[in-house]
Chain A
């Protein structure tokens, strides 16, 4: 379900969210505040998710553990 191309799916979702935030921000003197805050929040969150996803995409090390109990090794 989640493969390498997922980052682009995520990007598309976030761009859509940003556009929606731009359009649907309540009018008035706080419109700038709404737009800036929402878009910045979406971008920040996407960036963090993107970094986390990319860091695990092609891992260079494997998890290693010696205290796995019998019966749990196939989880």
Chain B
């Protein structure tokens, strides 16, 4: 039965292979294998720390390149945001806005494939990123310097403008200033002053021996500044200040700050020097201002000219920087991906063992046996392309290690396999539970979700997701991505729900009347509306497909459907579990363990069928008998089952003649299986073990080895394979010393009878109890489908149903409103919520009730070295992927 070729029935055959690759093409080979994604390499350098491995240097260099690329990526973000910020501040937001968003070209991994780079390309790339990094940081530096210069010039211009205002005003009241700078009276100067006042029109402060300091200070510090000045100079100053109306930008941190222009008049060089010192210590910037109006005008002109120059240069720098970064943004994604791949390649190469004398890399790993030729030709291609005379050797070796479980999936089966893998990884080569799950999981869902109308909506949704598969793949919204991932499950679920909806004859809680009913009303003479009516069968004819619509809306409708759905749950559960149990037979046969057939499968099957198989037969037999025609009382099957256990041999109401002995025999048969289940397997294993010991055999685990060669030295021409065959190493004639690995990792355990016994006792108790509890567990099919049907009836009666009988325009409005209410509630509650709960219940039936019958789940997953999965799973690359 086991198919020879690879299929979904079992995980793929795996082979442990050894690769001998010439050192020169090691990188290219690993690259090609990474693209192929079919080999899972083992770490042959487990005892060597990460720093001592062969290719640590290369990895470090690539790390560096990656860091540089990331830095330029961050620079890109900063510049982009700065452009937005400065544009906002400068006010020409709209015109410049487009420039702010430098497009990053993302890489769509599904469409574009990158050719594997050569070593020189990588070298070039690393050099290029280095120079790029330098250039960007130079540009950035000069940008910041220029920005600083610009701010300084702007401040100077403000000082000139504001201070000029002071001077113009001050010329009118020099006297006042003089008086205020000098305490009380200053008779010594009085004469001079008066003389000057009388004569000169162009009075100057310097003539009065009054100097001044002009500058700009942070507005928050003005109060403190004033106070300190006042105290240190004992009031010997005249200060004037004004606010700069627009905020200035601090180039170091891009924050806007408000500043004030101040002019301080004082006399005496020492005092002026003191003021300068205090200003500097308070973080003020001092600018030189000429008191002469003409000179000042020249200064203003000069400052303006310089400011324009600086702005021009600044603009150019910004442009160059943007251009540079735009160029980077074009290829940044591709470079990042190349570097990530390259790094992964070297990390894989670090797993290999390096034979320095022969310049050969030796690798060990698992790969699917069927794909061996493909791997072989790939390696051959690489060797040929490199023009090497030394071929790469791939050599299959035998090992006693458990191979990894490799379950190949396609677009359709992927989601089904995922829900199975969510429970556990199937043991290597055991029956893959995902194969039956493709049908049983959606089918059991549909039994609970049986409504044709809801199924149509679900079917359309899943079809839409499949039709627009490609564009929808890019949606990153998590909840949708999850549903999208399960679109094929949803499709199969919807198809089965269409079927069960027809069987239940439910469409949005209404019915179809495709066929003639088997019933008609038995109308008595003189019947009036409001009096109860009872149906009667038309004859031999029965409703051919699904539930007769005549039951819909009757008073005892639930009585009928409950009995029907309950029995259906039991029968479907029985069928599901019997099917699952049969799979354990295939497992036992495949693993060549006949004792599992005779010690577990057969007694288990007899136990289960003797009780629940009998119940199912009774249910069907009871249906097939026309109890009313033969005029006998139909027995209650529940009571029958209870009496069968509690009082064997007695009957409440007989179902068929000779029932008592049959039930007693079945019961005995079932109970006889318990000791068989309990003892047969442990005793057999003990007998087998003792016999082997008596003949002088040892457990293979006592001398397990993994690698092909167990002699490190000596002539390793031959690989003695596990099955006694000898395979000659034809590669270099000398044989390759191979390090034997992991000998102690998983040796076979000693046979211990008590452990086997305990294990079997647990299995027996679990199995027998589970037969009962799992059968009961299938009653959830009945409960959930009842709930779904009743909820949709209630929803109809609460919203759309009553409005249909309302006449007039109000009725129209009500129908429209009620329809939308009903439709959205149907989608939200009955399809989404109910669907979700039905899915979870079905999942449980799949995981627990079915899989516990046969699956062991003791495998470990095959995780090949593959660039595709690597790039998909790397979070750091998320922003570069399309």
Using a CB–CB distance below 8 Å, which chain A residues touch chain B?
1-4, 6, 29-33, 36-37, 40-41, 44-45, 47-49, 51-70, 73-75
Cα A60 to Cα B503 in complex, Å, equals: 20
Residue of B nearest to A33 (CB): B8
Cβ proximity bits B544-556 to A, threshold 8 Å, 1 near / 0 not: 1111101101111
Q: Given the complex, which residues of B lie within 8 Å of A69, measured CB to CB?
A: 529
Cβ proximity bits B438-471 to A, threshold 8 Å, 1 near / 0 not: 1110010001000000000000000000000000
Would A63 and B550 be within 8 Å (CB), given that A56-B518, A58-B626 are in contact?
yes
Cα A68 to Cα B533 in complex, Å, equals: 8
Q: Given the complex, which residues of A lie within 8 Å of B529, measured CB to CB?
A: 68-70
Residue of B nearest to A47 (CB): B575
- Asked whether any CB of chain A lies closer than 8 Å to the CB of B624, the reply is yes
Is the Cβ of B624 less than 8 Å from the Cβ of A52?
Answer: no
Cα A29 to Cα B410 in complex, Å, equals: 11
Report the 7 A-B pairs with minimum CB-CB distance, sorted nearest first. Answer: A2-B544, A32-B7, A40-B439, A63-B535, A63-B554, A54-B623, A66-B532
Q: Given the complex, which residues of A lie within 8 Å of B5, measured CB to CB?
A: 29
Q: Given the complex, which residues of B lie within 8 Å of A53, measured CB to CB?
A: 542, 544
Q: Which of B438, B532, B541 contacts A3 (CB 8 A)?
A: B541
Is the Cβ of A65 less than 8 Å from the Cβ of B438?
Answer: no
Q: Which of B483-538 contact A (CB under 8 A)?
A: 496, 499-500, 503, 515, 518-521, 523, 527, 529-537
Is the Cβ of A74 less than 8 Å from the Cβ of B564?
Answer: no
Using a CB–CB distance below 8 Å, which chain B residues touch chain A?
3, 5-9, 408, 410, 413, 435-436, 438-440, 443, 447, 496, 499-500, 503, 515, 518-521, 523, 527, 529-537, 540-548, 550-551, 553-557, 559-560, 563-564, 567-568, 571-572, 575, 620, 623-629, 634
Q: Given the complex, which residues of A lie within 8 Å of B515, measured CB to CB?
A: 2
- A sample of 28 cross-chain residue pairs with beta-carbon separation below 8 angstroms, ordered by A number, consists of A1-B541, A2-B515, A2-B544, A6-B542, A29-B408, A30-B7, A36-B436, A36-B438, A40-B436, A40-B438, A44-B439, A44-B440, A45-B496, A48-B503, A49-B545, A51-B567, A51-B571, A55-B563, A58-B623, A58-B629, A59-B537, A60-B634, A63-B557, A64-B554, A65-B554, A67-B530, A69-B529, A73-B527
Is the Cβ of B503 less than 8 Å from the Cβ of A49?
Answer: yes
Would A31 and B439 be within 8 Å (CB), given that A48-B568, A63-B550, A65-B555 are in contact?
no
Is the Cβ of B560 less than 8 Å from the Cβ of A45?
Answer: no
Cα A47 to Cα B572 in complex, Å, equals: 8
Cα A68 to Cα B537 in complex, Å, equals: 17
Q: Which of B438, B520, B575, B624 contacts A74 (CB 8 A)?
A: B520
Q: Which of A1, A33, A41 contacts B443 (CB 8 A)?
A: A41
Cα A62 to Cα B500 in complex, Å, equals: 23
Cα A62 to Cα B435 in complex, Å, equals: 42
Is the Cβ of A54 less than 8 Å from the Cβ of B620?
Answer: yes
Q: Which of A52, A56, A58 contacts B628 (CB 8 A)?
A: A58
Is the Cβ of B435 less than 8 Å from the Cβ of A73?
Answer: no
